[in-house]
Chains A and B, each alone.
Chain A
Amino acid sequence: MARLVRMDRSGHTELAAWTGTDQPSYERAAALFDEQLAGGYMGIARLADDSYEQVKRLPADAELVLLRRPIAGG
């Protein structure tokens, strides 16, 4: 089960979960993902080799996709 998690003021919120075989649940998650990106969040997917990559579209085969806020020099 893949998860879409947003890091926010509540600690974190699981926005959606989907499986590779369940297309409607993936489409709902993808729509939520696009909505969050439009709201200023950035998507990061954990890949199979445990590395992390920036994503602009929700990858169907990722195990975990996180949404984070931008960072800046203090």
Chain B
Amino acid sequence: MRQELERGGLPELAQVWWREPMDERRLKRRERVATAYTAVYVLPFCVIGFGLLLVDPWLFPVSLWSFVHAWVIPELFAHRGARVVFPLRKSAGERPERTALGLLGDLLDHEPRELMLGTGLAMERGRLGVWLFGEAGALLLRSGGWRVHCFCVRVEDAELPRGDRIAHLLLALREDEVGFATVANHAFTGATWRVYRRLKEHQRPALEAAIAASSAERPTAPSRTISQAPARS
């Protein structure tokens, strides 16, 4: 069969020829840049908040305003990241949806299949980390589950059933993981707990499972931190 195989990576890479491959080294660089960027815009607000309190405790309303900014800005970025796996509008009938779920179920192992039925997100272990697929995007858990990358990517047919949209992304990843991460638009990287709080409630068990899978490599996963995080209504 070897002569039939195409070893050049995902064909879709031709559409984004200017992008460098999103490999381990570039993911790490993104993580460092994101951490530095967050520090750059959060620290000044914290310094201003504490500074005002030191100058005059009666300035606490202004100080509070500053702390709120330091909190809200990273939350908005995280929300942008979490949105990539939000469910899309249902576009197919019941029968195609069931048929597509059957095929997707065949592609997944038992545990990810059960998780998919409960949460709508499919889990896949890759070389770069643990992936969670939604209909129009994917989350990549790394560093033992402490850090998440959010990728916006979808199949170019909006009328496909939900299960098929996810199966397309899953197959593209299995063909070429680095190529998949390169074709996808990088939406966010940051602390997993921030994205966890922004996910739909029924999706959160999938992220918990992905953290657990990720922590198999690094035993100090943030599962306790996340389970204690206040739920967002």
Contact = CB atoms under 8 A, between A and B. Distances in A.
Contact of B12 (A44, A57, A71): A71
B174 A8 contact: no
Contacts of B100: 7, 11-12
B167 interface: yes
A73 interface: yes
A48 B176 CA distance: 17
A11 B102 CA distance: 8
Given A7-B164, A9-B92, A12-B103, A55 B5 contact: yes
Contact of B11 (A5, A45, A54): A54
B172 interface: yes
Contacts of B204: none
B190 interface: no
Nearest to B19: A73
Interface residues of A, number: 31
B78 interface: no
Interface of B: 1, 3-8, 10-12, 15-16, 84, 92, 95-103, 136-137, 151-157, 159-161, 163-164, 167-169, 171-172, 174-176, 180, 183-185
Given A11-B97, A69-B160, A70-B156, 13 more contacts: A9-B159, A11-B98, A11-B101, A12-B100, A47-B1, A54-B10, A55-B5, A57-B3, A68-B172, A69-B156, A72-B183, A73-B16, A74-B153
